[in-house]
Amino acid sequence: MILIFIHPTAFAGTGDTTWMTKGKYGVFMHYQYRILLGYCQVNSNLTQHPGESYPPASAMTSQQWNQFVDGFDVKGFAKQMAEAKVGWVMFGVEDACFSWRDSPNSKFNEYTGYAPGQKCSNRDLIMDLADELNARGVKLILYYAGLNADIYDQKTYQGLDDDGNVKTAPSASCRRKRLAILREYANRFGAKVAGWWFDGTDNINAYSDTPNDWRTIDSVIHKANPKAVVAFSYGSNEQACVKAGVDDYTAGDTLNKLDLTQFTPYKKPPQNNILWHGKIYCGNIYHGLGFANQYTDQQLIDWITTCNRQGGICTLDWPFDPKTGLIKDFGMKQMINIRNAIK
């Protein structure tokens, strides 16, 4: 009998995940306009807009969006992350639905017809965050849904030659434009951004044709930062490997409160042996909202410890103040208790 040993990273991409394994766990920030306004898809009966997932377009303005972005306390947030000793922060560039972006992009403006500051913020919040977090030894990973989204902003998806349906594959011209927007971001941030977490890739055939396929996405990212890590969120299987040789770690996204003992690398193994990653929310409302923690300190400590021991990593989000971006006090207290137990 011949035994064939398959190295755990045999099907992984070219990104360097060693720092993620050493970092053990990180924080996710759902920095999206509708979240800042108190709208949420899950547990919406607890929010300030009961039963409503999305705000009306009239509730969102360029002026208010820029006020939110300008008000984000980057230094204070970075100080919180350093104090909690998290390995990384995953932070949204845009909101997947209404196309509000917290970093300028000339290609986006060119294709959609929006003026600077009208849809993309005037402040480059991502660059400010990257500088402050990196100075404190915390990595930045970007949440990005711009490969196949913008479903509630007709001007955007039409400007990008899209039909506004995430379940249908973008046209060739749409893929070209979306990748040009991504390229501008990737090139600007370079090695200041350690990785990407791509949302809205449920349609696995969305980028199946050449040119501008999955490999092109990989090339765009790794020309800007050869060591960057990449994950694709694939709704029906969040431990999937969307494209062998491209993904470095699994998306691991979850939408509900979990029995954490059942959400581990051994219970839900990653596809193609890429790095297992679990992403949960810790407030009592999804998407960075909430007024209390939904797990005990020990539950989270045990979960992170178990996942790390089984070769996986974890990302958690806590409720934050929409005006400042700072983690709320009860969440920060829990983060410190986790730090003391694990780090």
Phi and psi at residue 143, to the nearest 5°: -80, 130
Quick check: 217 and 207 in contact, CB under 8 A? yes
Q: What is the pLDDT of residue 149?
A: 77
Residue 274, domain extent: 18-342
Is 263 within the bounds of a domain?
Answer: yes
Residues 6+ apart with CB under 8 A from 16: 227, 229
Is 12 within the bounds of a domain?
Answer: no
The pLDDT tens digits for 60-90 are 999 999 999 999 999 999 999 999 999 999 9
The pLDDT tens digits for 106-119 are 999 999 999 999 99
Is 72 within the bounds of a domain?
Answer: yes
Rounded CA separation 341/339 (Å)? 5
Rounded CA separation 313/25 (Å)? 6
Q: What is the pLDDT of residue 302?
A: 98
* Total domains in the fold of the chain: 1
Q: What is the pLDDT of residue 7?
A: 39
- pLDDT over 70, % of the chain: 95
In CATH, what number is assigned to the domain containing residue 142?
A: 3.20.20.80
As a whole number, mean pLDDT of residues 196-220 equals 82
Is 166 within the bounds of a domain?
Answer: yes
Phi and psi at residue 89, to the nearest 5°: -125, 125
Is 5 within the bounds of a domain?
Answer: no
Is 318 within the bounds of a domain?
Answer: yes
Is 8 within the bounds of a domain?
Answer: no
Its sign, for the CA torsion 181, 220, 151, 158, is positive
As a whole number, mean pLDDT of residues 314-325 equals 98
Token pair for 314 = 């974890």
Quick check: 78 and 133 in contact, CB under 8 A? yes
- pLDDT over 90, % of the chain: 78
Its sign, for the CA torsion 235, 100, 217, 149, is positive
Is 11 within the bounds of a domain?
Answer: no
Q: What is the overall mean pLDDT for the chain?
A: 92
